[in-house]
Amino acid sequence: MNFFKRWIIKSLLKKPAPDRIPRSGDKAKSVDCNVVYIRAKDESWTIFCNEIDSKGVTGKYWLNKKDYGELSIPWTWLTDYELDITHFYGTYDLRYSSIVQYFFEGILPWDKLKIILGKVQQFLFNRKELVRSERIETLKLILEETIENRNFTVSSVSLSGLLYTQKWVFHPDKSRQLAYNDLLLKSLAESGELTSVQYGFKLSPKALVTISEYEEDQKRHRDNLAQSSATKWLTFALIIVGLVQAGVTYYGVYKNGS
């Protein structure tokens, strides 16, 4: 391992991870530590790094899944290996599979920028009112998921994820949205478009009929609007033609009379 790689790993090990890393709650928000593994590419051995120098690495050692405790291993023994770096930053787990990736995404603040951007997007999302999904739009969403997975079931929670991705979890209006989703799904089950199962609701064949009838109604509505618009423009054109003819007639009578 060259000097640059050793220097990077040494800097990572200056923030060692505790035995238990909190991943939720207020304690998780202050977490800033690193875990570094060196693994054989064939996964025959693994080292959990505690210390590194020009001679080798010291840490907990596994060989063929057997724990040998903490050992110091010279670099000459470590060939055909790869790195596994995890930076626990607040509630985020930032994973890197090489020094190059860590340099461009971890040292250069690309990951931090993505986190900040995500927080800005969440802030803007929280300022919006969650739009309640109507019955047909909900059925269409569930239909698409069921086409992909015939065993798909939906709940008030998973429906929120389909509508708004995982940003809805941090929205201040999430409880009201869940309550509305629950009533909406029960309503669709009551009318036969969904079937109640153990952990939620599944699409029933009637949903396809309901969606088809709705789309036919929408098509007829659009056709009626188009026909009404065409009739209106035709009437307007006839009025113009009538006015022109009346003007020509009046002009001819006036000219003959004079």
Distance in angstroms (rounded) separating the CA atoms of residues 188 and 86 = 45
pLDDT tens string 14-49: 998 888 888 877 888 888 899 999 888 888 889 999
Cα-only R_g, the chain: 34
Residue 28, pLDDT score: 82
pLDDT tens string 225-242: 666 666 667 666 667 766
CATH architecture of 135-206: Orthogonal Bundle (1.10)
Residue 36, pLDDT score: 92
Residue 250, pLDDT > 60, answer no
Which bin fits 200, alpha (ψ -120 to 50), beta or left (φ > 0)?
left
Highest mean pLDDT: which of 86-100, 153-167, 228-242?
A: 86-100
Residue partners of 158: CB distance under 8 A and separation at least 6: 200
Q: Which of 93-102, 143-152, 192-201, 229-238 has the lowest mean pLDDT?
A: 229-238
Considering the chain, what percentage of its residues have pLDDT values greater than 90?
3
The CATH 1.10.10 portion of the chain extends over 135-206
